[in-house]
Amino acid sequence: MKNLFRILLLLPLACINMQVFAAEYTIKFSHVVAAQTPKGQAADLFAKLVDERTHGRVKVEVFPNSQLYDDNKVLEAMRLSDSKTTGIMAAPSLSKFVKFSNTLQAFDLPYLFNDMNDVHKLVDSPLMDRLTTGLDKKGLHALTVWDNGMKVFSINGKKPLRRTPADFKGKKFRIQSSKIAGSMIEHLGGTPQSLPFKEVYTALSQGVVDGQENTWSNIHSKKFHEVQSYISVSNHSYLGYLVVVSDEFWKNLPADIRAAVASALKDATKANREYAIIADKADRKKVEEDKHAKVVELSKSERAAWRKATAPVWKEFRDEIGGDVIDDLNKLLGRK
């Protein structure tokens, strides 16, 4: 009885201690891809690191595969959110932000980057701050950029995409909601059609669209290659994600909590780059081994033809993006 009495006396104290370590803030991290993709892996790692570094004061709940929102709805939910204890975080593709920032359209320019080293030169530079200026006025706080990889083209048909515009003519291609991507497809000779990511497989399998552009990890994880005949290794543009959070939530976090979350995000970003490199090689190999779609390497002259065909897109959107921004981009990346 004495032991029972002691236990009963200690219960309120135990409850108080449990409350001290209970989560004070919640971050709902929504994304549209599978958990095993570079973005999915980075989101899960971020959740783990935040829990460790805030000692449980912040709980990150990850929702993959559009379980909570798609990329369009999540941005609206984020902008409307005024909660100081529950924040919405997401990593939509950079193309999703063009309605909020004309300068961010620069990421969609065809053949802006030669490789991932060029991408990191930009996102790690002060120029990135200029590209995201103004998002906070839209209720969004930009945090970092996560990699997926360089895009390649796939097509369902009797021949691969090699020549422009001959091989593209009469073909419909799924694109993200990007005016620049649409213009690029038109200059290549095809017809662009904007569709949500979650609808792409069905659209390809039912012939709503003939082809699409994407990274190897997205192609493999969503099985796009199973309903396509050819994949041309064009590496024509970059697919990356801008990690954003509700601006109101972020600004109202205590400084120590905000610093811990930022630290976790920095390490998750570093890991994401490694995940993306691994996935790019591994998923391409898996696609080739599955033997549904034939992978086609473009020759040097074919690549030059694609670059030439899409060059007018740069001039078309120069004023909209900002001529000074494009000039600074070229200077940063060592181009004339």
pLDDT tens per residue, range 13-59: 444 444 445 789 999 999 988 898 899 999 999 999 999 999 999 99
The predicted model gives 182-195 an average pLDDT of: 97
Identify the residue with better confidence: 203 or 80. 203
Give me 245's structure tokens.
Answer: 């959070």
Confidence of residue 119 (pLDDT cuts 50, 70, 90): very high
Is residue 43 within 8 Å of residue 29, measured between CB atoms?
A: yes
Confidence of residue 70 (pLDDT cuts 50, 70, 90): confident
Each residue of 170-183: pLDDT tens digit? 999 999 989 999 99
The predicted model gives 204-210 an average pLDDT of: 97
Minimum mean pLDDT among 73-87, 177-191, 209-223, 235-249: which range?
73-87
Minimum mean pLDDT among 68-72, 179-183, 315-319: which range?
68-72
The amino acid present at 24, given as its one-letter code, is E
Give the chain's domains with CATH numbers.
2-94+116-147+241-283 (3.40.190.170), 152-237+289-332 (3.40.190.170)
Q: Which helix (H) or strand (E) holds 194?
A: strand 191-194
Question: What's the pLDDT score for residue 8?
Answer: 43
Question: What's the pLDDT score for residue 13?
Answer: 47
Question: What's the pLDDT score for residue 327?
Answer: 96
Q: What is the spatial distance between Cα 49 and Cα 54, in angstroms, rounded to a whole number?
A: 8
Confidence of residue 95 (pLDDT cuts 50, 70, 90): confident
- Block residue for tokens 């509700």: 246
The amino acid present at 253, given as its one-letter code, is L
The predicted model gives 145-168 an average pLDDT of: 96
Q: In angstroms, what CA-CA distances link 63 with 200, 240, 267?
A: 20, 19, 20
Is residue 25 within 8 Å of residue 86, measured between CB atoms?
A: yes
DSSP collapsed to 3 states, 315-329: HHHHHHHCHHHHHHH
Confidence of residue 87 (pLDDT cuts 50, 70, 90): very high
Minimum mean pLDDT among 13-22, 58-67, 226-235: which range?
13-22
Question: What's the pLDDT score for residue 7?
Answer: 43
Minimum mean pLDDT among 7-21, 65-79, 198-212, 247-261: which range?
7-21
The predicted model gives 298-308 an average pLDDT of: 95
Minimum mean pLDDT among 2-16, 91-105, 150-164, 213-227: which range?
2-16
- Block residue for tokens 């053949």: 111
Minimum mean pLDDT among 22-26, 127-131, 316-320, 328-332: which range?
22-26
Identify the residue with better confidence: 221 or 144. 144
Q: Which helix (H) or strand (E) holds 47?
A: helix 38-53
Question: What's the pLDDT score for residue 294?
Answer: 97
* Whether the predicted pLDDT of 298 surpasses 90: yes
The predicted model gives 261-282 an average pLDDT of: 96
Q: Is 193 exposed, middle or buried (0-12, 13-18, 19+ CB in 10 A)?
A: middle
CA angle 331, 107, 96 (to 5 degrees): 155
Minimum mean pLDDT among 2-16, 135-149, 224-238: which range?
2-16
* Whether the predicted pLDDT of 315 surpasses 80: yes
Question: What's the pLDDT score for residue 1?
Answer: 45
Long-range contacts for 66-71 (Cβ within 8 Å, ≥24 apart)?
66/30, 66/32, 66/197, 66/198, 67/30, 68/28, 68/30, 69/30, 70/32, 70/196, 70/197, 70/198, 71/32, 71/96, 71/196, 71/197
Q: Give one DSSP letter per residue of 259-303, joined into a string.
A: HHHHHHHHHHHHHHHHHHHHHHHHHHHHHHHHTSSEEEEPPHHHH
Is residue 89 within 8 Å of residue 262, measured between CB atoms?
A: no
